[in-house]
Amino acid sequence: MSWRIITNLLDIFIITFIIYFLLNIISGTRAVQLIKGLALIFGIAVLSQLLKLNTVNWFLDSFLTIIMVTLPIVFQPELRRALEQIGRGGFLKEQFWQNWGPKEINDIVSAVAEMSEEKTGALIVISRRVGLKNYIETGIKLESLISKQLLLSVFQHHSPLHDGALIIENGKIQAASCFLNLSTRSDINPRLGTRHRAAIGITEESDALALVVSEETGVISVAEDGTLKRYLDTAELREALSDIFSRSKEKSFMRRHL
């Protein structure tokens, strides 16, 4: 095989990998709709060039320029997430499941079920490949093993740690009382307040899973990839948590249930 063929194959391999990686990042996010929209506009632009529709061409050219300039602003969370994943080599190593086992899942499920019954508000974020150091630093460091008792005591009404999010990373409760960025999406059910918005927000900026227990209704919800699924029962919650072990994103809980 000549050197030229080898470099061509390498070229194709690298581009295939990059496209696969980008598709993996955007699949299931709002960027998919955007790409569909852009593909349609590009299609119309090509057609109008072939038919020499000068005014339509001028309009689409200007429109696409504006879109290209505004894209990084509108999709800042997705871009940040992609760059973070690249920076951490997150797509190559999957260490988030280390220290996880059936005991940790049981503890979280039974703590959440108990809080749901007692209508104790809670927000638990479980990080995966993208680290949440920035958010952990906003709270009170705990660096403790996961236990049902600790989860329950953090979120008790009188606990000084109950306000804000508890973050689990690398199989440990890293911190409580963490402040998360709220999602700015306008299509979130207006009856959901800041706890749910914070859960959606963190999953827009990272690949974390966020569990919410509503203080008002006791309803259990899970957020992933910027999407919130509400009214989970304990079996579904267990399934969502077990997915954390799953290496394949296609198998993710939300993708199967939406």
* Cα separation, 191 vs 177, whole angstroms: 23
Look at phi and psi of residue 174 and say left if phi exceeds 0, alpha if psi is from -120 to 50, else beta. alpha
Cβ proximity to ligand ATP: between 164 and 226 the closer is: 164
Q: Which helix (H) or strand (E) holds 56?
A: helix 54-74
> Residue 197 CB, nearest distance to ligand ATP (Å)?
7
Q: Of these, 84, 163, 236, 239, which contacts ligand ATP (CB under 6 A)? A: 163
What is the rounded distance in angstroms from the CA atom of residue 153 to the CA atom of residue 165? Answer: 14
Nearer to ligand ATP, 55 or 186 (CB): 186
Radius of gyration of the chain (CA): 22
In the DSSP assignment, the letter for residue 16 is H
Give the total of residues touching ligand ATP (CB under 6 A): 17
Footprint (CB under 6 A) of ligand ATP, residues 205-224: 214-216
Beta bridge partners of 221: 212
Judge whether 212 and 123 are in contact, CB under 8 Å. Answer: yes
The piece of 23-31, 68-76, 92-100, 162-170 that touches ligand ATP (CB under 6 A) is 162-170
128 binds ligand ATP (CB under 6 A): no
Residue from the set 31, 82, 167, 198 that interacts with ligand ATP by CB under 6 A: 198
What is the smallest separation between the CB atom of 196 and ligand ATP, expressed in angstroms? 4
Sole binder of ligand ATP in the list 195, 208, 210, 252 (CB under 6 A): 195
- The DSSP symbol for 210 reads E
Task: Return the number of the residue (45 or 165) whose C-beta is nearest ligand ATP.
Answer: 165
* In the complex, least distance from residue 161 CB atom to ligand ATP, rounded to whole angstroms: 10
Q: How many residues does the chain have?
A: 258
Burial of 193 (0-12, 13-18, 19+ CB in 10 A): middle
Q: Least Å distance between CB 176 and ligand ATP?
A: 10
- Using CB under 6 A, pick the residue from 182, 188, 229, 249 that binds ligand ATP: 182
Pick the closer one to ligand ATP by CB: 53 or 188: 188
Residue 9 tokens read as 């194959």
231 touches 220 (CB < 8 A):
yes
Q: Please state the closest distance from residue 224 (CB atom) to ligand ATP, in A.
A: 17
Instruction: Count CA atoms closer than 13 A to 113's CA, side-chain side.
Output: 13
Binding-site ranges for ligand ATP (CB under 6 A): 121, 123, 163-165, 179-180, 182, 192-196, 198, 214-216
